[in-house]
Copies of this chain bind each other. A is one copy, B any other.
Amino acid sequence: MTVRVAVDALGGDRGSAEIVAGALEAAGDGIVPVVFGPEGLDACGLEHVVTDGEIAMDDKPAEAVRALPDSSLVRAVRAVGDGDVAAAVSAGNTGATLAASLLHIRRLRGVFRPGIAVTIPTRRGPSVLIDAGANADARPEHLVQFAHMGVVFAEEVLGIHEPRVRLLSIGEEPEKGNQLVLEAHAMLTRSELVFDGNTEGRTLLEGEGDVVVADGFTGNVALKTLEGTIRSVLRSLRSEIDHSVRGRVGGFLIRPSARELRARLDPETYGGGYLLGLRGIVVIAHGSSSRRAIANAVRLAARGVEHDLVGRLERRLPSRSAGAAD
């Protein structure tokens, strides 16, 4: 089986050459990346769809998608809706990717809102955080639906048997949380999901839940805090070590271990998150993605296609009314 994956060459902070290099790295093994970018772009021999216009990181999503229908981002996403490719990857404006996806790929029947599902590299293996930032504001029934989508992802793609769901809050007790979380907690308790109650940010890397549910604002703050803290701690340790000869020798000796740890914790290892709830596969990569991150994002997109993530979501999601009444 060959999976064609559209890659938005203009998304991301490092320029199109880095994105194309990532796409090239992922080519082969049944993956055919298709580069979407302007005339004159060096596609390094990959298939190249010529596009016109660029959506910037700080453009207003809906306006930009309307004003730039031939931009690399919109065209890459539209190619999924049109059936020209099986999946799309963009490291560009997240809001615009969401808006273009709603317009050109559309939601699965019964889905309130798509949510971004990212993989967290916990000490016990991968877990899923959903929503990591598609919707800044959410209602309790959205959180319940994110839980359902996260469970399908965890089970079908990550291979976790009967994934346990946790709700991200400010204490483990059911009465801890804001209004949104309190209501979502009650609905999750009544649902057929394996719901283990609330979890706190401190346990995110410990892997207490297989699927951690949050509204997109909280999930995004938690994810970025997690990623930033990992980077800050490792950087601070290195600068402490560099202060002394003894430290520098020790630093040399622990280098393989530190590299191992960095590889496990590095967000680039996963490359990006799925925008779940659509009639097609879209992967949202970090704006700062390197070629390695882009290559992994393309592989993630292809894996979603191979596992028929969309079809499985369609079959397994409770109907909208059932979801709301859960």
> What is A's interface to B at a CB cutoff of 8 Å?
58, 60, 123, 133, 136-137, 168-170, 173, 175-179, 181, 200-206, 215-218, 220-234, 236-237, 240-241, 243-244, 246-247, 249-258, 260-261, 264-265
Contacts and interface: CB of A to CB of B under 8 A. Distances in A.
A178 B136 contact: yes
A200 B58 CA distance: 15
Contacts of A252: 250
Question: What 9 A-B pairs are tightest by C-beta distance, nearest first?
Answer: A250-B253, A202-B228, A201-B225, A250-B254, A205-B232, A240-B257, A201-B224, A229-B229, A136-B178
Contacts of A233: 205, 229-230, 233-234, 261, 265
Contacts of A243: 257
A223 to B, nearest CB: 8
A205 B221 contact: no
Interface residues of chain A: helix, strand, loop or mixed (majority): helix
Contact of A228 (B206, B237, B244): B206
Given A170-B133, A225-B229, A250 B257 contact: yes
A58 B255 CA distance: 44
Nearest to A241: B257
Name the residue among A216, A236, A246, A252 with the largest chain B CB count within 10 angstroms.
A236
What is the copy number of this chain in the assembly? 2
27 contacts: A123-B236, A137-B178, A137-B179, A170-B217, A177-B217, A178-B215, A178-B217, A200-B224, A201-B221, A201-B225, A201-B226, A202-B225, A204-B229, A206-B228, A221-B222, A229-B229, A229-B230, A229-B233, A233-B234, A236-B264, A236-B265, A240-B254, A240-B258, A246-B253, A247-B254, A247-B257, A249-B253
A205 B218 contact: no
A261 B251 CA distance: 14
Contacts of A257: 237, 240-241, 243-244, 247, 250
A208 to B, nearest CB: 10
A182 B304 CA distance: 34
Contacts of A170: 133, 136, 216-217, 220-221, 224
A178 to B, nearest CB: 4
Contacts of A201: 220-226, 228
Contacts of A232: 123, 205-206
A102 B124 CA distance: 42
Contacts of A221: 168-170, 200-201, 218, 221-222, 225
